[in-house]
Structure 1
């Protein structure tokens, strides 16, 4: 029997690329979207799910379990970007980011784990971010939400391993997707103390996304994780310098690393 893969946030971007790639490889793929009826073209079967709504999560998971009798692989991909000076980001938007990037994936894991535990086998792949390994200027909230998911994964991985379930992190760098269009970004405020520095950084971030790697690179990485007999805890996917930045953070003094980042962002 084909493995059943459940991917959150699969109507576009990385999630869609992963789903289409795995479909070709012979997997039975279900993706999610908040509004599947609005998705005009999708080779993936989409079910309605909003990661900020627990009832929606449970209904979507149960729908697939009723159809297939199992979920072999969960790819926790749904997420949202957020940028801005921390001082100028409304608390409501910070909470929404954590609801989507952290609390939502936790609830999806909680919904799928009982069936995996019953099967005595399962794989959960949490899509985090290289930005989650470091606090980045004007992306502090995003870095924090993705970094928190990395640590949650490390902890829960050990809790469920005795049941034959593996949980891993896959941290992408910049990929050419529509994430910039869908993220919240604090508006550039005329006369703000951050007007110049935030404006310059925002332009740089948008350029990085536009010039990002092909999302199929992520799809191939996810396929390799699924095929692995003994998956690792952490995977990083992206440009060499983005991955190397994590190594630099580990080996350089904090103040030196901070200076490198500030130079990079022209702060």
Structure 2
């Protein structure tokens, strides 16, 4: 049985990934921070192992890694999904907003990957899948700090893929479009209608569609794919 760690696994895309991997024979480590009730519910339905940690905090990440290593051994797949979004005019973005955006969307990927990558290098195999955004590809007005952080995820992915390729480790990135998750719950019906009109497939994406793409990249069917950005956005970015 392969072990997969999914950060931010209690909501949205992360939650869908927990179900997708659990239903396909993986032992899943469901990382969460504040959503303990939701994580407990998912654990009861999937059998996932709950691992609490703020993944932007190095001590908590290292404690999580030690717990997994001591009790379950190696991690075969990392899904770096944890993150936040925020809409603000650039002139209104505070230094705290900027730092928090990069801590939770980018620094977390560095910390989590660093905590587990030595084992992958030792065994000469592993899959790392990072969740970016279409705004990391194109940039989004009123989301400069979010777009910049998600663009950094893409650069991180490509550089790490080159570095870890000789060790047999595949590193890829998924860039979702507008997905029906809690993160987008602030949008109005008019906003959603407008976004659907701008999307060639004329609808929003579902978390499960992102999760299936992530599992494909984690599978042996993707063993010759690395350093790629897979846009799952209904054609929004072409």
TM-score interval, normalised by the smaller of the two chains: 0.7 to 0.9
Question: Could you list the runs of 5+ residues in structure 1 that have no partner in the other structure?
Answer: 184-198, 245-267
Instruction: Compute the displacement of 1:55 (Å).
Output: 0.6
Match of 1:4 in 2: 3
Match of 2:111 in 1: 107
Q: In structure 2, how many angstroms separate the alpha carbons of the residues matched to 1:214 and 1:207? A: 17
Any conservation in 2 of the 1:31–1:46 contact (CA below 8 Å)? yes
Match of 1:237 in 2: 232
Any conservation in 2 of the 1:237–1:243 contact (CA below 8 Å)? no
SS state of the match for residue 231, structure 2? strand
Question: Could you list the runs of 5+ residues in structure 2 that have no partner in the other structure?
Answer: 197-202
SS state of the match for residue 122, structure 2? helix
Question: Aligned to 2:125, which of 121, 124, 147?
Answer: 121
Task: Return the TM-score normalized by structure 2.
Answer: 0.87
Question: Within 5 Å, which residues of 2 pair with 1:153-172?
Answer: 153-172=157-176
Q: In structure 1, how many angstroms separate the alpha carbons of the residues matched to 2:192 and 2:98? A: 19
- Structure 1 vs Structure 2 CA RMSD: 2.2
CA radius of gyration, larger in:
1
Q: In structure 1, how many angstroms separate the alpha carbons of the residues matched to 2:175 and 2:69? A: 28
1:204 aligned onto 2:191: yes
Question: Within 5 Å, which residues of 2 pair with 1:53-72?
Answer: 53-72=57-76
Question: Aligned to 1:91, which of 92, 95, 113?
Answer: 95
SS state of the match for residue 156, structure 1? helix
Question: Within 5 Å, which residues of 2 pair with 1:1-267?
Answer: 2-35=1-34, 37-39=36-38, 40-42=40-42, 43=46, 44-180=48-184, 204=191, 208=195, 212-227=204-219, 228-232=222-226, 233-240=228-235, 242-244=236-238
Q: In structure 2, how many angstroms separate the alpha carbons of the residues matched to 1:230 and 1:90? A: 42
Q: In structure 2, how many angstroms separate the alpha carbons of the residues matched to 1:153 and 1:237? A: 17
SS state of the match for residue 82, structure 1? coil
Instruction: Compute the displacement of 1:205 (Å).
Output: 6.8
